[in-house]
Structure 1
Amino acid sequence: MTRFSANLGFLWTDRPLPDAIRAAAVAGFDAVECHWPYDLPVGDLRRALDETGLPMLSLNTRRGDVESGENGLAALPGRRTEARAAVDEALDHAEALGAAAVHVMAGASSGTAAEAAFVETLLYACDRAAGAGRIILIEPLNRFDAPGYFLNTTAQAAELIERIGAPNLRLMFDCYHVGRTEGDVSGRLQALMPMVGHIQFAAVPDRGPPDHGTVDYGTLFREIAALGWDRPLGAEYRPTGPTDDTLEWMARLR
C-alpha cells in the first residue's frame, strides 16, 4: 500500500502548524513535512508529532529576504555566512523534530561563482548532517514557478550529486517540477532512483490535487512501488478549497 506524507507548506495552511499536523493525522496521512517552521516554538511542534505519532520527514532551509524575492541562500555568492547559518538552523530543528532530511535551498542565481558557492554550502551541510545520520536534499525547481532559480533540471542536480560525492546528498524528486520542466516523469524517475532521497507530487501543470492533469499518478505510484520505494510520498499540491475537501484521491491512489 502506498503511503503519503502531507506537505504542510501547502496543506492546512489556514491553521497553526501544530494543528495542521493533527489534521494530517486525522485525514490518514502517514507522515508530514514542512517548509519553514522557524517562527513557532519547536516544543509545540514536537508535542503535536508525539501526540499523533507522525514522523516529520523533512524541512527547508530559510529563503533569506523573501520581500526582496530571495528563494534560498546556498548558491548566492558572497552569502556564505548566512547560508551556513541557515543550514545550522535547519539541522538544529531537524534534530529537535526528528526529521530525517533537510532541503538546502539554492536561491536565484547563475554562473560559476554561484555554482562554487552552492557546492561549498552543500559540502558543509553534508558534513554537519552526517554525524546525526541525516540526509541533505537538493531540488530542481521549474522556471515558471521559480524564475532564475539556480537548480532547475534533474540532470544538473545529478551532476552535482555525483561530483560532490557525499553519501548523504540526495535528490528531492518533485514530479510536478519535473513534469513542468522536463516531461517524461516516469523515465526520469527510473533513471535517477539510485540518488533519490524523497519524492513529491502534484498535478501537472496546475499543481492541484493529483486526480487530474498530464501525469497519471495511479500508474506512476505503481511504478514507484515496483522500483522498491517504500517510503511515504510527499503530497505538495495547492488545494482547490479547504484541504479536507480535496483528499478523495488518497483512497484511490493508495
Structure 2
Amino acid sequence: MTRFSANLGFLWTDRPLPDAIRAAKAAGFDAVECHWPYDTPASEVKRALVETGLPMLGLNTVRGDVGAGQMGLSALPGRRDDAVSAIEQAVSYADETGTKAVHVMAGISEGAEAEAIFIENLSVACDLAMRRRLTILIEPLNAFDAPGYFLRCTQQAKSLIEHVNAPNLKLMFDCYHVGRTEVDVPTTLNKMMPVIGHVQFAAVPDRGPPDHGDVDYRPIFSQIAGLGWDQPLGAEYKPGGDTDASLGWMVKFR
C-alpha cells in the first residue's frame, strides 16, 4: 500500500503547526513534512509528533528576505555567513524535533560563482547533518513558479550531488516541478532514483490535488513502488480551499 506524507506548508495552513500535525493524523496520513516551522517552538512540534506517532520527514532552510523575492541563500555569492546560519538553524530544529531531512534552498542566482558557493555550503550542511544522522536535500524548482532559481533541472542537481560526494546529500524529486520543466516524469524518475532522498507530488500544471492534470499518478506511484521506494510520498499540493475536502484522491491512490 502506498503511504503518504502531508506537506503542512500547503495543507491545513488555517491552524497552528501542532494542530495541523494532528489533523494529518486524523486524515490518515503516514507522515508529515513542512516548509518553515521556525515560528513554532520545536518543543511544541515534537510534542505533537510524539502524540500522533507521525514522523516529520523534512523542513526547509529559510528563504531570506521574502519581500525582496529571495528563495534561499546558499547559492548567493556574498551571503555565505547568512547561508551557514540558516543551515545551522534548520539542522538544529530538525535535530530537536526528530525531523529526518533538511532541504537547503539555493536561491535566485546563476553562474560559476554561485555554483562554487553552493557547493561550499552544501559541504558544510552535509557535515553538520551527518553528526545528527540527517539527510540534506536539494530540489530543482520550475521556472514558472520560481524564475531564476539556481537549481533548474534534475540533471544539474544530480551533477552537484556527485561533485559534493557526501553520502547524506540527496535529491528532492518533486513530480510537479519535473512535470512542469522536464515533462517526462517516468523516464526522469528512473534515471534519478539512485540519488533520490524524498519524493513529492501535485497535479500538473495547477499544483492542485493529484487526481487530475497532465500527470497520471496511478502508474507513477506503481512505478515508484516497483523501483523499491518504500517511504511515504509527499503530498505538496495546494488544496484550493478546505484541506479535508480535497482528500478524495487518497482513497483512489492507496
TM range (shorter): over 0.9
Q: Report the more deviating stretch, 127-136 or 145-154.
A: 127-136
Q: Partners of 2:187 and 2:97 in 1: how far apart?
A: 34
The question of 1:46 aligning with 2:46 is answered yes
| In structure 2, C-alpha distance between the alignment counterparts of 1:241 and 1:88, rounded to whole Å | 34
SS at match of 1:71: coil
Secondary structure of the structure 1 residue equivalent to 2:160? helix
CA distance in 1, matches of 2:118, 2:231: 28
Quote the residue 2:88 is aligned against: 88
Give the 3-state SS of the residue equivalent to 2:148 in structure 1.
coil
Counterpart Cα distance in 2 of 1:186 and 1:10: 25
Measured in 2, the distance between the counterparts of 1:34 and 1:21 equals 10
| Residue identity matched to 2:15 | R
**Cα RMSD, aligned residues only:** 0.6
1:133 CA displacement? 1.3
List runs of 5+ in structure 2 lacking aligned partners.
none
Residue aligned with 2:25, SS:
helix
TM-score normalised by structure 2 residue count: 0.99
Residue equivalent to 1:240: 240
Aligned to 1:130: 130
Correspondence 1:56 to 2:59: no
Task: Report the alpha carbon displacement of residue 100 of structure 1 after superposing the two structures with TM.
Answer: 1.0
- Supply the distance in 1 between the matched residues of 2:238 and 2:137 (Cα, whole angstroms): 22
Following TM superposition, by how much is the alpha carbon of 1:75 offset from its aligned partner in structure 2, in angstroms?
Answer: 0.2
Cα distance in 2 between the residues matched to 1:96 and 1:31? 17
- Amino acid of the structure 2 residue aligned with 1:196: I
Q: Partner residue of 1:114?
A: 114
- The answer to whether the aligner puts 1:102 opposite 2:111 as a matched pair is no
| Distance of 1:124 and 1:43 partners within structure 2 | 26
Task: Give 1:164 shift.
Answer: 1.1
**Partner Cα separation in structure 2 for residue 250 and residue 233 of structure 1:** 11
Structure 1 residue 241 displacement after superposition: 1.6
1:106-165 CA distance string (max 9 Å, x none): 000011111111000000000111111111000000000001100010010011011111
Consecutive unaligned residues in structure 1, runs of 5 or more = none
Read off the aligned partner of 1:156 and give its amino acid letter.
Q
Question: 1:12: how far off?
Answer: 0.4
Q: Which moved more, 1:36-45 or 1:200-209?
A: 36-45
Aligned partner of residue 199 in structure 2, secondary structure = strand
Q: Percent identity?
A: 67
1:167 matched to which residue of 2? 167
